[in-house]
Amino acid sequence: MKVAREAASLLYFGIEKEYKQAKLKAARTLGVKFLPTNLEIASELDKIADEIEGKSRQERLIQRRKEALKLMKTLKTYEPLLVGSVWRGTAHRQSDIDIIVYHDEPKAIAKTLEKSNFKILKTEWVDITEQGRKVTSFHIHCESSSGEKFEVIVRSPEEAYHKVKCDVYGDEITGLSLLELEKLLKENPTQRFVPL
């Protein structure tokens, strides 16, 4: 469990960005060959965030979900989906807000965001392998006027029909649509979406 805790610390404090690098560095630091699972790291990350952030963590989650709603309304036509730690309810102070849209013209999404006063910080094409398939997506890193950081992931419309398994929790990434997020904010704004 020490390796998981060390890896989680590296992620929490922004020393590492990815689980794989964090667990390798943690194992090297502690001089062990054992690598924890992503789920074990996520569990420790959650504990660290609670210990350090306390009650403000829940308040920040609600605020980020409200900010996500604003951006999703801006991209309403493209049927945006809230994913990542803000969807899950496991966000900590370093977390950004992850939104997926399916569209074949990523630059149009960036223009729509700019017109709505979101500051574009960086754009990039990213290749990843999901369940043996190579998937290319366009990532737009942007910031709202209140300073919240977003990562808008633009995928081709065909990708909308592929079910994606989470490499941390092992379940299907379903996310929240605009209407689902509105309902959640009214009924249970701090609800978590993590398998038991």
Domains plus CATH for the chain?
A: 2-53 (no CATH), 56-187 (3.30.460.10)
Say if residue 53's pLDDT is above 90.
yes
Tell me the pLDDT band of 134, cut-offs 50, 70 and 90.
confident
Say if residue 87's pLDDT is above 90.
yes
Condensed to tens digits (0 to 9), the pLDDT of residues 147-175 reads 999 999 999 998 888 888 888 998 999 99
The rounded distance, in Å, linking the Cα atoms of 174 and 143 is 24
Q: List the strands of the sheet with 176-177, edge to edge.
A: 119-130, 133-143, 149-155, 97-102, 81-83, 176-177
Show the DSSP H helices in the chain as ranges.
2-12, 19-30, 38-53, 56-74, 84-88, 106-115, 178-187
